Amino acid sequence: MSRKSWHLDRRSFLRGVGVSCALPYLEAMELDVKALDAKEPKRACFVYFPNGCSLPDEDDEKYAHWRWFPKGEGANFEYTKVLEPLEPFRDQTAIYGGLSHPRSRELLGHLAGDTWLTGGDLRGGHYKNSISVDQLAARHLKKHTRYPSFIFSTDGGVGYKSRVSTLSFDDNGRPIPSEHRHRQIFERYFSVQGGETTAERRRSIKEGKKIVDLVLEESKRLWKRLGVHDKRKMDEYLSSLSSVEEQVQRNEEWLDTPLKPFNADHLKLDPNPKADPKAYVRTMYDLIVLGFQTDVTRVMTYMLAREDGMGFGDSWPSLTVGVNKGHHTISHDAHEGHWDEWGPYDNWYAQQFAYFIGRMKETTDEWGPLLDNTMTLYGSSCTTTHNARNYPMAIVGGKNLGIRHGHYSRYSKVGLMSSGADQLTGAVLERAVEKVGEDDLPCSNLYVSMLQALGIETESFADSTGPLEGFFA
């Protein structure tokens, strides 16, 4: 079949002065997609929150509703107030309890955060990390996209050993710098120079011109070639670009405000009246959606805040849920009513994450909702502070990747899944007992299964003993 005048290349751009804007999938690209024998994309996103989670005892009648993990197990679990925002996505959610990195449990303080995606062995007074699971996935999926992966955080850079500000580590275990300035990230998507902001674009930013303004003329020319459905899709996409950039502009003044001096042991940051954590976090989530929508990458990480009271995120509780303490301080506090401070903040994090999942569900490409082909791991590297066991972990999305959703799977001391155990054969249970010791089921088993869901043939990652039993439907 020959290409018609109205056919578009899958990698088409709208161009303006100093910018080029990647297009989402349009029906006019159908010929190009068929010619490439395209297959459904498989994507992964990793979202991390620091300092553990609210975890009162299950039988605590006064505070159990602030427990991060659900009530009950299997398909009949009930969300507590913490993860209640995820209820609309129950059929695309899998929650895991009982997983952790055995080699990270005895590490000092919050050092376990450095190994959340690596499972690296940092014991014995040395620091020798290993590759993170997102970078292993990026190595295999980068052939499909312009960028191997995007690495985002609230604070940017790498931080320092034991208090990193990135989730991603290269083949040699070295931390990969994260990005946090929305403007720089936003411009990265729309520059043919591969991320550099041109002199022309810098001038237009100073003049207050948005990306949509600069590509308006070419979009009008393209409009004449599009059908009814494509016109609606283009209108939605350009509106989304405009909305995100408006919020980027509002956030910039806060991001340029330097951190106040602080003592890491007794951090007390004065709330910044210009800060809007909700807008900041949601803008970053919007940028992630745009990245997947334009298929510029299929692997992303986002570190919501740093461990141990470091960085911007520690002051957010006072700006979001009215608790005039830092997040790290809340996680250490043990006074009566402690869970009434921590639980609402965990709920706030869950609200922002639910916003992201909602955007992924409503945003489509040629294969349908982005959510269906994208699995997002949401979690932390400890439960209550310094307890690097029983990581709070949930995977949302990726129903086309074969994941077993709609379950809270709680792994016992011998690695058995107590929820739905009747569905596992005796041979599976015996293998689980043989593979792991007491309370030693590696979180890396989950990562092996995630890699397999992405189409990567592997049976091991870090200290794994194999795939996670019960991960796939």
The mean pLDDT value of the chain amounts to 81
Bridge-partner residues for 472, per DSSP?
403
pLDDT at 236 over 70: yes
pLDDT at 436 over 60: no
Predicted local distance difference test score (pLDDT) of residue 230: 82
DSSP string, 43-99: EEEEEE-SS------TT-TTTGGG-SSPBS-BTT-B--TTTGGGGGGGGGEEEEES-
Give the model's confidence band at 116: pLDDT under 50 very low, under 70 low, under 90 confident, else very high: very high
Determine contact, residues 403/371, Cβ cutoff 8 Å.
no
Predicted local distance difference test score (pLDDT) of residue 205: 66
Predicted local distance difference test score (pLDDT) of residue 432: 42
Q: What is the pLDDT of residues 301-345, one digit of tens each?
A: 999 999 888 888 998 999 999 999 999 999 888 787 889 999 999
pLDDT at 100 over 60: yes
Residue 11, both tokens: 């990698």
Which residue intervals of 256-338 are DSSP H helices?
277-293, 316-320, 327-332
Determine contact, residues 49/63, Cβ cutoff 8 Å.
no
Return the HEC string of 232-292: HHHHHHHHHHHHHHHHHHHHHHHHCCCCCCCCCCCCCCCCCCCCCHHHHHHHHHHHHHHHH
Q: What is the pLDDT of residues 252-294, one digit of tens each?
A: 554 444 433 323 232 222 323 347 899 889 989 988 998 898 8
Predicted local distance difference test score (pLDDT) of residue 18: 60
pLDDT higher at 124 or 94? 94
The stretch 158-170 carries a mean pLDDT of: 91
Determine contact, residues 388/317, Cβ cutoff 8 Å.
no
pLDDT higher at 7 or 286? 286
Give the model's confidence band at 194: pLDDT under 50 very low, under 70 low, under 90 confident, else very high: very low
Give the model's confidence band at 129: pLDDT under 50 very low, under 70 low, under 90 confident, else very high: very high
Predicted local distance difference test score (pLDDT) of residue 420: 40
The stretch 55-82 carries a mean pLDDT of: 95
Predicted local distance difference test score (pLDDT) of residue 250: 63
Predicted local distance difference test score (pLDDT) of residue 253: 52
The stretch 195-215 carries a mean pLDDT of: 64
pLDDT higher at 250 or 326? 326
Q: What is the pLDDT of residues 343-374, one digit of tens each?
A: 999 999 999 999 999 999 998 888 899 999 99
The stretch 83-88 carries a mean pLDDT of: 98
pLDDT at 37 over 60: no
Give the model's confidence band at 6: pLDDT under 50 very low, under 70 low, under 90 confident, else very high: very low
- Which residues, at least 6 apart from 27, have a Cβ–Cβ distance to it below 8 Å? 227, 229, 230
Give the model's confidence band at 7: pLDDT under 50 very low, under 70 low, under 90 confident, else very high: low
Q: Using CA atoms, how far apart are residues 197 and 254, in angstroms rounded to an integer?
A: 21
Give the model's confidence band at 20: pLDDT under 50 very low, under 70 low, under 90 confident, else very high: low
pLDDT at 434 over 50: no
Determine contact, residues 164/158, Cβ cutoff 8 Å.
yes
Q: Is 264 exposed, middle or buried (0-12, 13-18, 19+ CB in 10 A)?
A: exposed
Least confident segment among 98-107, 176-185, 421-430 = 421-430
The stretch 121-139 carries a mean pLDDT of: 90
Which strand (E) or helix (H) includes residue 152?
A: strand 150-153
The stretch 49-59 carries a mean pLDDT of: 92
pLDDT at 462 over 90: yes
Predicted local distance difference test score (pLDDT) of residue 241: 78
pTM value?
Answer: 0.81
Cα angle 71-110-439, degrees, rounded to a multiple of 5: 50
Predicted local distance difference test score (pLDDT) of residue 455: 96
Predicted local distance difference test score (pLDDT) of residue 64: 95
Predicted local distance difference test score (pLDDT) of residue 162: 82
Q: What is the pLDDT of residues 443-457, one digit of tens each?
A: 999 999 999 999 999
Least confident segment among 24-33, 234-243, 368-377 = 24-33
